[in-house]
Amino acid sequence: MYTPAVIINYEIMMRNLKEIQDLCNERGVKLRPHFKAHKTPYFADIQRQLGAIGFTTAKLAEAELLVNEGFRDILIAYPIVTLENVKRLKEISKKTKVSTIIDSLEGARVLSQGFGNQSLDVLIKIDTGLNRCGIKPNSNEVLNFVKDILKLKNLKIKGLLTHGGHSYKGKNIEEIKEIAEAEGKTLLELKEFLESKGIIIDEISVGSTPTLRYLLEIPKITEVRPGNYIFNDYTQVSLNTTTIENCALTVRSTVISRGIGKFIIDAGSKTLGLDKGTHGSEIIKGFGKILEYPDAEITALSEEHGIVKSSILPEIGEKITIIPNHSCVVMNLAPFVYLEKEGKFLLLENKGRGLNY
């Protein structure tokens, strides 16, 4: 094994996956994991076997990979707003059930035009506070938008969808819990309002790994779409939504040089990414946690070097283990990963990395 190397601990990963699937089963909520967290059909297959009802993707290229690998029922939770992309969606729809989200009339019109005589399931994307995509949850605004969509005969409104990604900026568990409750409450109030106007809303689809457990306590949520829960990372640990013991993905790295009060490792930004949180939040000091040197701090990353400030210096050539800040970006950077299972290392190609179009 050459370093830097991305290692997935099978046992921890399975524990993470089963825990969330079991929770979903208990609550009668569908689990539709976000593929972007691992981008690897091998892991998607495990999720499917455990009970995932389908997959979420951001980009069409991810959905194309999944469908070509035999996966079914794909939600592209991303605005598809150009005719060339609607054609790709239509192509996918020949092989499996698909759905997507809308948050603009312009986008919806392009979808409707591209699908012609064929109908398409869509979810209305609501912005519950991340302040990225989505319609603001003003009842009348949403109603007017929905009425406009209903005029586009081939778009079938399947439900409401949100992503409470602002939970990644939560200062403590209480704040994250509040964000989760607001996320659920906002969608359920909108559902009630729309249904009072005769518009049936079947699906209430929510999800982010930090808010997941709290969302599952809210009745009438029908679907969750976490991604990161498969591996976790130092962002989740910093948010207190999990502990180090539940981090399934680590980066093995080698000490290549030393100086006064510092050492240099062979993992840089091209391996670890520069994330200090998620969605642009900067909640973490340093660029990952070194398990063997818990007091050390990875203070800077060049492309291929990590600079570590530390009072204790390891030997040159020594191997260290890093919990990265954001496991999703580490997966996207790695050409392959090592699956650590029963003391053996299995090399897994990372088929979906870079499929960001």
Binding site residues, its own copies, CB under 8 A: 2-5, 36, 58-61, 78-79, 81-82, 84-85, 88, 103-104, 106-107, 110, 127, 131-134, 165, 254-259, 264, 266, 268-271, 273-275, 278-280, 299-305, 307, 315-317, 328-329, 332-335, 353-357
CB of 300 to its own copies, least distance (A): 3
Assess whether the previous peptide bond of 137 is cis (omega < 30° from 0).
no
Q: Which is nearer to its own copies, 21 or 57 (CB)?
A: 57
Nearest CB to its own copies, comparing residues 78 and 214: 78
Any residues with CB less than 8 A from the CB of 42 and at least 6 apart, and which? 339, 348
Tokens linked to 329: 């970006």
Q: How far is the CB of 17 from its own copies (least distance, A)?
A: 21
What's the min distance (Å) between Cβ of 31 and its own copies? 20
Least Cβ distance, residue 279 to its own copies (angstroms):
5
- Count Cβ atoms within 10 A of the Cβ of residue 295 and give its class: 0-12 exposed, 13-18 middle, 19 or more buried: exposed
For residues 28 and 261, which CB has a smaller minimum distance to its own copies in the complex?
Answer: 261
Based on CB atoms, which residue is closest to its own copies, 15 or 258?
Answer: 258
Give SS3 for 159: strand
CB 304 → its own copies: shortest distance, Å? 4
CA neighbor of 341 nearest in space, from 37, 23, 42, 24:
42
Residue 15 or 115 having the CB closest to its own copies:
115
For the chain, the residue count is 357
User: Sheet harboring 203-206: ordered strands across?
Assistant: 30-31, 223-224, 203-206, 155-161, 120-125, 98-102, 74-79, 55-57
When the beta carbons of 183 and 188 are compared against its own copies, the nearer one is 183
CB of 48 to its own copies, least distance (A): 23
Q: Tokens at residue 44, please?
A: 């998607």
In a 3-state reduction of DSSP, which class is residue 94? coil
Contact present, 150 and 181 (Cβ < 8 Å): no
